[in-house]
């Protein structure tokens, strides 16, 4: 289960930021070797304050483990032919790292492995960076031949994911007065990307929009909505419109009811608990938005745990090594790890640059 991760303690904030700003795949900066650590050092005190305000650390590992166990339990039931199933967590910038997961997998005697991104929508900066680090870690540990891999690299339109998101939206709307729900603005907020990444053809913005369009069809009501992007940092242009600018605009327009829907996050962490709930909440009230709420994160949702299991079960039954899109490199990409798969499980050759993988995606829900 691949994800960014988050510091569990205040002392872990600085190393987390150091790793984050050193990663050129997620945060391409000029003079990164020097500018990355400089930005990380400057931001550490403020970020520590934010984590202190939500209890002293990120709950993302807790929720990922809970979701992983629920997923494995469901998989044993709905895919007995591939049982037993175990889950492992590989975070990008905080423990457990990819090396930790790989060493434990080897100790457990695992031979067949699925690299399962916990970012529903693909981006080279998130899923791509995590997968690249997984392959590098396998080489560092001498485990490049230890496992037969396949990859779940995106799932923005999986029925179970969309159903979980629709349930979250309905639960959020229930917190508004009944007579005002129809006029409540749904503000779909996703983590932003540097525009340099967007311009080279990253799939993320299109997949975010696809998720939003699909889930609005499930909500089953005429509801105003916007798509915006949060969490931009550093001295480079970022994908917009920004969530804070959108909130200011809605306040000027007289919008009084706003429900924020985190469309790319699968559990609570600093971006939901502090950035949305506290920072954007204060901004919303300052610009005249009377009711500003957030749709609940999936966290311990049984619907979402089953959705994760259905994503994996459909993947295993499909016989795919990866999605057809995974092999498509962005323009100008020269990273030797991008779009590759170690020891493909289905006996397919390693995906080469610009090679198209001809496979039919199967994302049907299971009974």
The pLDDT of residue 181 is 92
**Over the chain, what is the mean pLDDT?**
90
Q: Give mean pLDDT, residues 224-237.
A: 88
Least trusted range by pLDDT, from 13-22, 275-284, 358-367 = 358-367
Predicted local distance difference test score (pLDDT) of residue 28:
64
Task: Write down all domains in the chain, each with its CATH number in brackets.
Answer: 159-294 (3.40.50.1400)
User: What integer is the mean pLDDT of 67-95?
Assistant: 97
Tokens 């984590």 label which residue? 51
Per-residue pLDDT for 355 more than 90?
no
pLDDT, position 26: 66
Does the pLDDT at position 233 exceed 80?
Answer: no
The number of residues making up the chain comes to 367
Kindly report, residue by residue over 106-159, the tens digit of the pLDDT.
Answer: 999 999 999 999 999 999 999 999 999 999 999 999 999 999 999 999 999 999
pTM of the model: 0.89
Is pLDDT of 200 > 60?
Answer: yes
Say what the pLDDT of residue 362 is.
Answer: 27
- Cα separation, 134 vs 360, in Å, equals 25
Looking at the chain, the whole-number percentage of residues with pLDDT higher than 70 is: 92
| H-state helical runs in the chain | 13-22, 32-53, 60-78, 98-107, 129-140, 159-173, 195-199, 204-219, 243-252, 270, 281-286, 302-318
Structure tokens at 68: 């992983």
pLDDT category, 357, cuts 50, 70, 90? very low
The arithmetic mean of pLDDT across residues 350-356, rounded, is 38
The DSSP 8-state label assigned to residue 92 in this structure reads S
Report how far apart, in Å, the C-alpha atoms of 342 and of each of 57, 117, 133, 319, 320 are.
34, 16, 12, 16, 14
Enumerate helices (H) and strands (E) in the chain, giving the number of each. 12, 8
Q: What is the bridge-based pairing of β-strands 225-230 and 90-91?
A: unpaired
DSSP 117: B
Cα dist. 330→37, 118, 259 in Å? 27, 21, 34
pLDDT at residue 29, as a whole number? 67
């Amino acid at each position: 289960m691949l994800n960014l991760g988050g510091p569990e303690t205040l002392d872990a904030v600085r190393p987390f930021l150091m790793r984050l700003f050193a990663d050129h795949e997620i945060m391409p900066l000029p003079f990164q070797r020097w500018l990355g650590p400089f930005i990380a050092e400057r931001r550490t005190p403020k970020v520590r304050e934010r984590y202190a305000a939500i209890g002293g650390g990120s709950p993302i590992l807790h929720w990922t483990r809970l979701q992983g166990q629920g997923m494995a339990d469901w998989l044993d039931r709905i895919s007995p032919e591939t049982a037993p199933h175990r889950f492992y967590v590989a975070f990008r910038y905080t423990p457990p790292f990819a090396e930790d997961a790989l060493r434990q997998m080897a100790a457990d005697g695992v031979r067949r492995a699925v690299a399962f991104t916990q970012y529903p929508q693909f981006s080279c900066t998130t899923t791509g960076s995590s997968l690249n680090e997984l392959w590098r870690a396998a080489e560092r540990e001498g485990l490049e031949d230890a496992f037969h891999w396949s990859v779940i690299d995106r799932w923005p339109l999986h029925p179970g994911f969309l159903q979980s998101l629709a349930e979250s939206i309905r639960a959020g709307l229930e917190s508004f007065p009944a007579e005002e729900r129809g006029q409540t603005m749904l503000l779909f907020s996703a983590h932003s990307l540097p525009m340099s990444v967007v311009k080279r053809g990253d799939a993320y913005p299109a997949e975010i929009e696809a998720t939003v369009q699909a889930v609005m069809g499930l909500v089953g009501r005429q509801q105003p909505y916007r798509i915006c992007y949060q969490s931009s940092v550093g001295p480079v242009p970022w994908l917009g419109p920004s969530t804070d600018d959108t909130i200011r605009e809605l306040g000027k327009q007289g919008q009084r009811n706003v429900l924020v829907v985190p469309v790319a996050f699968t559990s609570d962490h600093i971006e939901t608990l502090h950035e949305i709930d506290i920072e954007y909440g204060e901004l919303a009230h300052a610009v005249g938005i009377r009711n500003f709420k957030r749709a609940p994160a999936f966290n311990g949702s049984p619907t979402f745990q089953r959705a994760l299991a259905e994503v994996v079960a459909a993947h295993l039954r499909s016989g795919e090594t990866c999605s057809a899109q995974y092999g498509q490199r962005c323009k100008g990409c020269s990273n030797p790890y991008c779009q590759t798969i170690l020891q493909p499980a289905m006996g397919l050759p390693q995906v080469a640059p610009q090679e198209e993988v001809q496979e039919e995606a199967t994302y049907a829900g299971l009974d």
